[in-house]
Amino acid sequence: MLTDSASAELVKYAANGFLAMKLSYVNAVAELCERLGADILDVTEGMSYDRRIGREFLNPGPGWGGSCLPKDTQALLQVADAADFEFRLMRASIDTNTRQRQRMVDKIRLAVTGNRNGSLTRTRVALLGLTFKAGTNDLRDSPALMIAALLRQAGAELVGFDPALPTAISYPELEGIELVADAYAAVAQADAAVVLTEWPEFRTLDWPRIAAAMGTPRVIDTRNLLDRDVLTRAGLTWTGVGRRQPSDTTVLAAQ
């Protein structure tokens, strides 16, 4: 594609901005699912059959991060501001992403204390996954670390494991997090285990062993990575994002 320099610059910013908006949108829809008793997996599957939407970037999670989306969305706002254009849609997408991190902390509070405003002081929280996505050791703008910072501010004691982060290396970004060598060490005596990165190997962990090792056997799965039935049979309580609980009724069907 041959174009002018201004258009070429905007191609990259606009593409990553669109992906960020799509992720913020699906995270907002996931919250709506929780309030209505719907299930985000069914909703996104139905959406994906529309070829204009597709299947990519329709997985809810703890928020988007990494080396590109945060940088390029901010750059797009700066370009818009310089052109005296108020890009409200992009700003709202960024605000939604920031709110998503706090929403995950509230979900953890509720799971641990039974109250969205409950105290996490001196609770032990195991963080499974710290990089911004699976398949990388990149910690830049990782939503896992943003959530960890909020949990630390709330008084929680944090222990973490990530397959891409050897414990022999010191990571300044992990200040306040005890990094351990495997998931089993992370969950020992924990009040909750929180899945923050979608590493596929987490699916094959020995979940009965984890349930026995934890102080309280509960998992908050911010990536909807794990099989709820597998964890339930292992004796753990599982909480996902935008997922209908087995006891929920479908509000929309009754209306």
Residues with a known catalytic role: 68
Q: How many CB atoms lie within 10 A of CB 85?
A: 10
Cβ atoms of 79 and 23 closer than 8 Å: no
In the numeric block, which tokens belong to residue 156? 């929680």
Please, what sign has the CA dihedral across residues 154, 157, 162, 167? positive
Tokens 């990571």 -> residue: 171
In angstroms, the CA 115 to CA 27 distance is 22
**H runs (alpha helix) in the chain:** 5-36, 40-48, 69-82, 88-113, 143-153, 183-187, 207-213, 228-233, 251-254
